[in-house]
Chain A
Amino acid sequence: MRSLWKSIILGSVAAIALSAASLPALAQGKTLKFVSWQKDERGVGDWWASVIKEFETKNPGVKVEWTKVERGAYADTMTTLFAGGKPPEIVHLASFEFQKFADQGWLEDLGPYIKASGLNLEGWAGQNACQWKGKPVCVMMLYFGNIFAYNEEMLKKEGIAPPTNWAEYLAAARKLTKDTNGDGIPDQFGTGHETKGGGGQYLSELMNYTLDAGGRWTDANGKVTINTPQMIEGLARWKEVVKNALTPRDLSAGETRQMFADGRIAMKLDGPWLYPIILRGKAKDQIRIAAPPFNPPLGGSSNILGMASEIPADTKKLVWDFIAIATSDKFQTDYATLAASTPPSPRAKTDGAKAATPHFDLLVQTAQAASKAGVDRIPKGLEIQYNEFAKMIMEESQRMIIQDLDPKAVAATMQAKAEAIQKQ
């Protein structure tokens, strides 16, 4: 029995000694977790893959475990991972949700890394939104401006020129909404918006109209400014479009985009991501892209890249390497070409993108126009309460349409509720 114990002890000591000797090898075999909803997205997904490939080439023995999580389940999954103490080392979040994670102290202050690496974020689109309590906790990966896509054939058939303002847009939408097969159900729509689903997307769709009417949710100081004549006008326009069924009802954003690409919707206001969907649609040859008839166009920050704070120092260095590759001039240039989107870096070369994407200059112009007008989907002063705010705006707008309420009264209700949410 004694000899058995002796063997066990000796064996254990030998195992520990061997493990210690192989520690550097284990460090070499490190894996960084990277969760993203963009994995299968044509264009931007390819760009992420190229960043990962470059990172793995530069860091032999270090692998990036790239996992896709659907956008609908993203916030829950990331919350669970962080709350369970197992966050992905490389953090990819939407620009409207990272604030909650930063507020918990889960995102590393990138200031020292930016300084040490000499990364110049001067003129980096949307980067101001990444400041949390005075510290940069992320790098903005996309700041976009909406484009206006229309089905030229449908407009020509009705003798309509592409609209350049709200009045023309409304007249065109009315004329283009019709029942083409006579079964009593409208099957062609003037425009298309998501009216079902999350508050965030609903808010973005609605903002196309409120911005053009001159309205803002909050002012530069974060004070709620919904009960204003401009916002009331914006809400009235939204009611006009939705209540009169100039847009198909109860569809998700993806379904609406597909309907437009297939020629069932005549006009669409959307971000740069609409173009790859158009290219796969039945009506791709009929669709033209132009500047939005609304001013300023809807725009804003989209998604961010950051670093989990509760990971070892050597892992943080590796994560920064990943961020450094993604934000390098070369990969920002590739981003423009592969993702057909406006790269946030002012140093990105866009010649290749212009050749591949005919309307690329327009994307840059609308992003700049939105940026110049200080437009963002996340209202200042309501960043932390964004989800609750967006849900409230969606519900009050739905109430306005379902119960046929006066936009003036709805704006007053929204103002009171938004102030209450802000005070929580």
Chain B
Amino acid sequence: MAGGRFGLDLARPSRQHWLGYILLAPAVLLIAAIIVYPLFVSVDLSFQNVGIARLDQPRRPFTTANYERLFTSPDFWNACWVTFKLILVVTLACCLLGLGTALLVNNRFRGRSVARLFVAMPWAVPEVIAVVIFAWIFDSSFGLMNWVFLSLGLIDRTINWFSDPAAAFAVVATTMIWKGYPFVSIMCLAGLQSIPEDYYAAARVDGANAWQRLVHITLPNLRPVLGVTTILVMLWIFRDFSIIYVLTGGGPLKATQTLSIMTYEQAFSFFRMGYASAIGVVTLIFCIIAAKLMMRRAPDVL
């Protein structure tokens, strides 16, 4: 029985690692089927002039025309700029808001559990529902936001939130921040709870004030967690589609057209799947570069 029916003795010390490979094999094969294979197909399509792609179609001649067109297209560079702006604004705001709320609910006070629940709630709301709520809040004719701003005297006429490029970008960024900050908050809260209380006690004895304790104890200890969280938030913004698509569809005047929206539009509105694949491949490269840069800044963990 030791050798088994196939003569494979997994109990032998020299073959003990085989069991690990065998157990991993289904997962590896699944990942290869649903991630690696489509990735290769995508890269392959990006070098062909394909309208609507079909796997049973004969391969079209190799061409770099999609990439040549992409790098000379003002729309592509605009999408890169919009994506970059969105990443910068949303990541920064999510981190500040997430860290702030985590510090707040890490304190002991009455109703802390309820406060923690409220902080985490936006994360639990399905993305499309959140977007519909925000679309109504910012509705140009009947939305809450125009009424609040007018009532407070901040504006003297209604803002067309989705017809003005700057306003539309602000609405998209606000929605993404609202949806994204709880994740940072939860991660930071977990990180905060792992910092030994002794550090703070010692700092207090040394006369450190709250700001000094934050800068010299909390932030350095949270750095690994914040590093990973920032990368994950950044990648989420890179790939997020539904918030922008439902709110603005990338408009007006391409003010909210990110790389993911551009990819979708080229593939499914204009049926240029070769060109869309080229945008997807370039987006992937950008993601890898951005993640690598961030990983360098968080060497303790990654």
Contacts and interface: CB of A to CB of B under 8 A. Distances in A.
A290 B270 CA distance: 38
Contacts of B54: 83-85
Contact of B271 (A79, A183, A195, A248): A79
A395 B78 CA distance: 15
Contact of B163 (A183, A186, A402): A402
A254 interface: no
A294 B15 CA distance: 84
Interface in B133-155: 139-142, 146-147, 150-151
B162 A187 contact: no
B163 A401 contact: yes
A56 interface: no
B191 interface: no
Contact of B270 (A387, A398, A402): A387
Interface residues of B, number: 33
B251 A398 contact: yes
Nearest to A391: B269
A71 interface: no
Interface residues of B: mostly helix, strand, loop or mixed? loop
A395 B271 contact: no
B53 interface: yes
A395 B163 contact: no
Given A75-B269, A196-B162, A398-B163, A104 B52 contact: yes
B232 to A, nearest CB: 27
A250 B270 CA distance: 23
A76 interface: yes
Nearest to A189: B141
B253 interface: yes
A250 B251 contact: no
Contacts of A198: 249
Given A187-B141, A249-B162, A250-B163, A402 B252 contact: yes
B253 A248 contact: no
Interface in B28-59: 51-56
B141 A249 contact: yes
B57 to A, nearest CB: 9
Given A195-B163, A250-B162, A388 B251 contact: no
B166 to A, nearest CB: 10
Interface residues of A, number: 32
A21 to B, nearest CB: 32
Of A76, A187, A189, A196, the most chain B CB neighbours within 10 A belong to: A196
A251 B163 CA distance: 11
A185 interface: yes
Of A250, A251, A398, the most chain B CB neighbours within 10 A belong to: A250
B252 A183 contact: no
Contacts of B141: 185-187, 189, 248-251
Nearest to A76: B268
B227 interface: no
Nearest to B158: A185
A197 interface: yes
Given A250-B161, A398-B163, A183 B147 contact: yes
B253 A398 contact: yes
Given A100-B52, A398-B163, A197 B140 contact: no
B200 to A, nearest CB: 50
A82 interface: yes
Of B141, B146, B147, the most chain A CB neighbours within 10 A belong to: B141
Contact of A250 (B140, B156, B157): B140
A11 B249 CA distance: 58
Contacts of A401: 163
Contacts of A84: 54-55
Of B55, B150, B271, the most chain A CB neighbours within 10 A belong to: B271
Contacts of B160: 249-250
Contact of B51 (A85, A104, A185): A104
A336 B256 CA distance: 43
A118 interface: no
B271 to A, nearest CB: 6
Contacts of A249: 140-141, 160, 162-163
Interface in A95-111: 100, 104
Contacts of B142: 185, 187, 248
Nearest to A394: B251
17 contacts: A83-B53, A83-B54, A85-B54, A104-B51, A104-B52, A185-B141, A248-B141, A249-B140, A249-B160, A249-B163, A250-B140, A387-B270, A387-B271, A395-B254, A398-B163, A398-B253, A399-B253
Given A186-B158, A388-B270, A402-B165, 5 more contacts: A248-B141, A249-B141, A250-B140, A391-B269, A398-B251
Interface of B: 51-56, 139-142, 146-147, 150-151, 156-158, 160-165, 249, 251-254, 265, 268-271
